[in-house]
Amino acid sequence: DKMEKNCLKCGYGLGGALTSWQILGYTGIYGWASYATALAHNAGVKAGIKEALDILSEIPGIESLSGVNLSKMINGTNFNRPMELVNILQGLNIKLCDSSSNQLFCAFAKNENGKLLAQAAQNASQAGITEAASVQGPKVAFIKTSTADLSYNMIVSGITILIIVILMVIIYLILRYRKKKKMKKKLQYIKFLKE
């Protein structure tokens, strides 16, 4: 009787621990994966912005323009969009280059009706996208591998605990059956003695 109660309590404890442990464990894994993915994305965006700025700084005369800070104009929303980069460069051209200006950037911007400017923006955007992907890709792959390993370990341990609970229930049922069998024999013996 005492063994049955202990067995039942142990199975109940393991079964309760299993569900709460897995719910909290999966919540933790999901939260960690979301946070790590966001960090990887931010690192990729920063690398992409830096690469786009490096390519744009190769445009002749752009570094010598007064009052122009490309790093404030290029951000995470436009470094990978060539048309937005073209708009930024054309805006600089319109704002800083008048008909009498002979700055190197102005000559470059007016050359071939701005085709070279558009090509430079396209190259900068493509380089930024490539760099962002090369930085972000391995980090996201590592995160996915890590979460898969953690999920696998939780599944295996959950199955193990479930098997233990099932064995405890089986032992409980066997002990209960034996007890009923003994009680039945006892009742038959008492009945036999009364006759």
Per-residue pLDDT of 52-71, as tens digits, reads 888 888 888 887 777 778 88
Burial of 80 (0-12, 13-18, 19+ CB in 10 A): buried
User: 66-80, 89-103, 117-131 — which is least confidently predicted?
Assistant: 89-103
Rounded Cα distance, 137 and 24, in Å: 28
Q: What pLDDT shows up at residue 178?
A: 86
Closest CA to 139 of 45, 49, 55, 52: 45
Q: What pLDDT shows up at residue 152?
A: 77
Give the mean pLDDT of 7-25.
63
> What confidence tier does 157 reach under pLDDT thresholds 50, 70, 90?
confident
Give the mean pLDDT of 76-82.
87
Closest CA to 63 of 104, 110, 121: 104
pTM value? 0.64
Q: What pLDDT shows up at residue 171?
A: 84
